[in-house]
Amino acid sequence: MSKKVLFINDVRSLLLISELLSRMGYEVDLAHSVEAGLSQLENQAYDIVVVLESPGIESWAICERIRALTSTPIIVISLNASSESCVRAINAGADYFLRKSFGPLEFLARVNSLLQRNALRRSVSAISR
């Protein structure tokens, strides 16, 4: 079964990364706005959510809204975030906060890391029941 990744907000600038994930066997959905992404999260299950921070849309506020819907791991990508913005997003539920510029292989490693951690968390939870 392929892993599902949802990209939220101005995803045109992340097409290279989403195409890489598709070539690696991930199922990738694109939501061109926060509202569209939240709607998709209400209707489908995803293994990872990737949020692109953009001017006027604070990543921490998006993370809070996502966390109200799901515990799916979140990666936030920002073009020029301050340390304060990074901390606020992580405190609001982001698992990783990446500042551009980073390489596609680094991104893929972080996705795989989150998927492994989430799978381990589910295994431990199932055993403890």
What's the predicted TM-score (pTM) here? 0.88
Torsion of CA 16, 25, 43, 58, to 10 degrees: -30
Q: Alpha helix locations (H) across 30-103?
A: 34-43, 59-67, 83-91
Whole-number Å distance between alpha carbons of 89 and 66: 11
Full set of structural domains in the chain with CATH: 4-128 (3.40.50.2300)
Whether 97 shows a pLDDT value over 70: the answer reads yes
User: Which tens digits make up the pLDDT trace of 7-37?
Assistant: 998 767 677 888 888 998 999 999 988 999 9
Are 74 and 95 in contact by the 8 Å Cβ rule? The answer is yes
Residue corresponding to tokens 């989150």: 114
The DSSP secondary-structure symbol of 93 reads T
